[in-house]
A and B are shown apart, each in its own frame.
Chain A
Amino acid sequence: MLSRVADSVFWMARYLERTDNLLRLLRTDYIASQDELLDYNWQLLADSFGSDRPEQKVKVENYRQALHHLLLSRPHECSVFTNIVRVRENARSVQDYITKELWQALNDYYHHILEPKTENLITHNDPVTALDFLLRDSIIFYGTLDVTMNRGEGYTFLNLGKYMERCLQNLEIVEFKRKQMVKAEVETVHWKYLLYALSGYEFHTKYYKNALNAKEVIHQVLFNTQFPHSISYSLGQMLRYFQRLADFSQPQQFQEIEGLLQKLIHSMNTYQQEYNISVIEKLIPDIRQQFNHLNARLASVYFGYS
């Protein structure tokens, strides 16, 4: 397939996964702030998931402002709105490659976020309704993708983008939660909401069977291969999909990227063996750096970046 198309499909999936993760986090944290975490630090949230550029930073005074900044702000380069626009632009440039149904699902997503009703819910009414509404579009996208897309190269790059973004977001969210806990009296509440944000709470109670504790929560989020949001699971998926490219790639290129993926998996296995709670101090920067390198090499080898 065309390098440009592979690139667009990959980034389309990354922006979509990023959006999905952010929506879930906002949903659970908003609910938490209404019920359990009454002194919720909205500025920390806006800073952690907003743009790093100084001119894009804003001061948020309440949850409405924070939600607006992260969800709907047009000039903000990291808002959900901007992400959806990017997803749609990428999809538009590969409209002939993705299925008509998938394009329509994304197009509807875009039109929904533009609806005045969405803004009204977020700025004046119940934000959860708006978040549910948008999350449903995200699920429709994944369903449509699964049902309609052919399993060729494009599907592989799409999944590589999805799982890479999932890992990176996972690291972001764990870091964010740790920052939230610095002044917290009861840590476990934060860990519980971390699991909620990753749709992993129910699984946790069934699998670990202990009272909620940081070590097991982080174990699940990083290493548990039955948990679809964990890094180990996502890496396994990336390797599985990537190996399908063997027949479509030049051998040297294929081996290089496969090697980088194997190395990531090996690193995770090593961290798991020596696992204790402090390992994440080392793990997070290391794994993030390896992903960034992988991303750059994929761009160079498969997407034609020079």
Chain B
Amino acid sequence: MSFHHFLSSYQSPPDTWDEMQAQGEIRKHYQVFLDSLEKASLGDLTQKDELAKKLFMSQGITFTVYSDGEGIEKIFPFDIIPRIITGAEWTHIEAGIRQRLKALNIFLKDVYHEQAIIKDKIIPASLIYSCPNYLKEMVNVDVPFDIYTHISGIDLIRDSDGSFYVLEDNLRTPSGVSYMLENRNMTYRIFPGLLPKNNVRSVKDYPDLLLKNLLALSNRQTSNPTVVLLTPGIYNSAYFEHTTLARLMGVELVEGRDLVVNDTKVYMKTTAGLRQVDVIYRRVDDEYLDPLVFNPGSMLGVSGLYYAYRAGNVAIINAPGNGVADDKAVYTFVPSMIRYYLNEEPILKTVPTYYMDNRDHFELVFSQVRKMVIKKTNESGGYGMLMGHAATDEHIAAYRSEVEKNPRQFIAQPMIHLSSVPCYINNKIQPRHVDLRPFALYGPQGIEIVPGGLTRVALREGSLVVNSSQGGGSKDTWVLG
């Protein structure tokens, strides 16, 4: 049976923007890709699917699941059919992210210095001070070039009318970029010739752009600053990403125990003695960075790192304390920030958000809880979330009492129907919901965004949860030139 036969039975879910088709017609930007598969059978696709799995396994792009005391290697689910974005859509996304990041970055500087936005009553002070990720240790700390959000991953979704919404800003240690790179490497193995034929823009520059920015942040008068990537270690779920980035940039991958602080300077322990470190791209959370200042039990950080940072002797990327800007309760104020700091209208839409500590909002949300998603303000990875449409009555009641205990820690948003894309699952072409996480790099010379990103897929039928920890997978993202 041919690919096209199966495609004809493809039915996108109701009230959903499908990326490939509209009212039964294939969208123009998917046409070249689909035409090239005209002669392919489903058997061919199965072969490609198996090849992709084999390549991921052999490259060790896996995570370990422990059962009966023994680790079992699993690959992160990858769907072979790419998600395609037009050049025009990308221009819009890019401009929106640029604008948003500019405002968020000014907000971070402001909130840790003059706090004009609070004094002008644009954002309530209580919201900031009640945010667990607001670090008083960062108040009046000057960061190099006033840049806080060097690397960010902005999660975008598409509502049923096709417009892009920002779902979340990830400004702390966003992950997933190695999958963007690896998924692309997979595509040219499983679909030879299709990338040039479709004029797909390359994402390969990412490590070079990142390294360029990191080098520029060194404060030492040297032609050859030392940049390191600080990882929590091999048991971290994103360890593969840390090694990939360190390898591609040619920087040392260090663990906390490899670093030592002396006289407010950071050094790494090498075979030839101590060598000064200028820039740390850390993939360790704020809380664990320095046991002397933050979590005293941390084994992942370096004692004295914070003081070295304050003294300007080392740059830490991203800056500590960014969590106050990607807090889910602060999220609703981003459009106001854009108007306040930039005097512009926001390009990307924001999902309406209700505060659970506002009693009116609380009642409103629980009166139509089936249409709502309730989230914890400082959690990510899809944890601690209530999806109203799929929850049982008992679950909702239990969640409600949980919210009542600490309403500041929760927000609610109306359910947005994420757009759908074709996926090859169980030997069938089926629609599944996706989001998109482009990665933006903010350096002294401005903001750069490689054309693409990580498309995360909710692999379970009808599911809207795309997080890899909750049954999500990913696919390659093509931005057409």
Contact = CB atoms under 8 A, between A and B. Distances in A.
B7 interface: no
Interface in B215-243: 229, 233-234, 239-240, 242-243
A304 B269 contact: yes
Contacts of A6: 271
A4 interface: yes
A138 to B, nearest CB: 17
B252 interface: yes
Contact of B58 (A89, A104, A249, A304): A104
Interface stretch (A91-99, A164-172, A275-283): A91-99
A1 B58 contact: no
Interface stretch (B136-144, B254-262, B351-359, B407-415): B254-262
B60 interface: yes
B239 A92 contact: yes
B70 A74 contact: yes
A248 B59 contact: no
B169 to A, nearest CB: 28
Contacts of B233: 93
Given A103-B60, A107-B58, A4 B255 contact: yes
B226 to A, nearest CB: 11
B270 A3 contact: yes
B58 A4 contact: no
Nearest to A108: B58
A3 B255 CA distance: 11
Interface string A114-158: 000000000000000000000000000000000000000100010
Nearest to B239: A92
A302 B271 contact: yes
B246 A2 contact: no
Given A3-B258, A92-B234, A96-B247, A107 B269 contact: no
A50 B59 CA distance: 32
A163 B276 CA distance: 33
A108 B57 CA distance: 9
A250 B272 contact: yes
Contacts of A95: 60, 240, 243, 247, 253
Interface string B111-149: 000000000000000000000000000000000000000
A111 interface: yes
A248 B59 CA distance: 32
Contacts of A153: 271
Nearest to B243: A95
Contacts of A97: 253
Nearest to A302: B271
A3 B247 contact: no
Contact of A250 (B70, B243, B273): B273
Contacts of B60: 92, 95, 103-104, 107
A57 interface: no
B57 A111 contact: yes
Q: Which of A6, A96, A245, A303 has the most CB of B within 10 A?
A: A96
Contacts of B271: 1-3, 6, 153, 157, 245, 248-249, 302-303
Contacts of B252: 1-2, 5, 96
Contacts of B58: 104, 107-108, 111
A37 B207 CA distance: 59
Interface string B261-280: 00000001111110000000
Leading 3 A-B pairs by shortest Cβ distance:
A96-B246, A95-B243, A96-B253
Interface of B: 57-60, 70, 73, 229, 233-234, 239-240, 242-244, 246-247, 252-255, 257-258, 268-273
Interface of A: 1-6, 74, 89, 92-93, 95-97, 100, 103-104, 107-108, 111, 153, 157, 245, 248-250, 302-304
